[in-house]
Amino acid sequence: MKNSGNTIILTGGGSGIGRLLAQRLHDAGNTVIIASRNIAALANTAEGYGNIHALELDQTDPASIEAFTKRIADNFPQANVLINNAGIMRMEGSLASKRDLADAEESVTNNLLGPIRLTNALIDQLVAQSDAALINVTSGLAFVPLVLAPTYSAIKAAIHNYTVSLRAVLKDQVEVIEVAPPALRTTLTPGQENNERFMPPEVFVDQVIDLLQRDPTPAEVLVEEVDFMRRAEKEDRFEETVAAINPFLAKS
């Protein structure tokens, strides 16, 4: 991917990874359009960064995606990179008894349908650009599930798989990259930002920027902390890794 001079659409830029990525990508010489539901949080990210622009988007809502796409076409027709970063994570409790599926269904609408719909809405614009790139943010849980977040884990696996299809179909037209973060100290779930076993997001984002700037950019951007999950199956230690990240299973 080109290191500077891109116009990047980044979902979820008001917090966490998205906020840090937007600011680092801006400082590397790119224009960044950040998009999510909380416009005040986006404005906070953009404050003091002349080439970060905030636009409202709810990726669960097809009408919002349509309005957003129109604003991009009208105001940023040169946009050549889409980063699908926005998402939610819900812990769902046990699958062993009948439960309310509201969280699971909300996750599917947001984390799976959201990026599929937004990519579809912007694909013609991306294909029309030279130096186009599409970056999907998945998770280490795409490769080894956290059983208390089964729908989230399954969706990340689905987005990983969807990204493989996009990469094959868009070969020579759009560079398709997957970023699979390890557990990070962000506000994705309650209390997570204070978990000292998790990686500081600033350190993670610095490493991501470094990997994105390599030539060629790796198809999968993986930091050391997530490698053990990505390679678990290949290295024939899948069951052991499932047990390692779900230690309470041993007690039940």
What distance, in Å, lies between the first and last C-alpha atoms of the chain? 46
CA dihedral sign, ordered 177, 120, 43, 40: negative
Catalytic residue among 68, 143, 152, 204: 152
Does residue number 69 form part of the binding site for ligand NAP (CB under 6 A)? no
Q: Of residues 190-249, which lie at the interface with ligand NAP (CB under 6 A)?
A: none
Torsion region of 216: left, alpha or beta (phi above 0 gives left; psi -120 to 50 gives alpha): beta
Residue with tokens 């080439």: 51
Residues 109-148 that bind ligand NAP (CB under 6 A): 110, 114, 137, 139
> Which of 3, 24, 37, 244 is in the footprint of ligand NAP by CB under 6 A?
37
Report if residue 30 touches ligand NAP, rule: CB under 6 A: no
Q: Is 152 a catalytic residue?
A: yes
> Would you call 187 exposed, middle or buried from its count of C-beta atoms within 10 A (0-12, 13-18, 19+)?
exposed
Residue 38 touching ligand NAP (CB under 6 A): yes
Cis geometry, peptide bond prior to residue 216 (ω within 30 degrees of 0): yes
Q: Which is nearer to ligand NAP, 70 or 171 (CB)?
A: 70
Residue with tokens 């799976």: 112
Number of residues lying near ligand NAP (CB under 6 A): 30
Q: Give the footprint of ligand NAP on this chain (CB under 6 A).
A: 11-12, 14-18, 36-38, 41, 57-60, 85-89, 110, 114, 137, 139, 181, 183-184, 186-188
What is the set of active-site residues?
A: 152
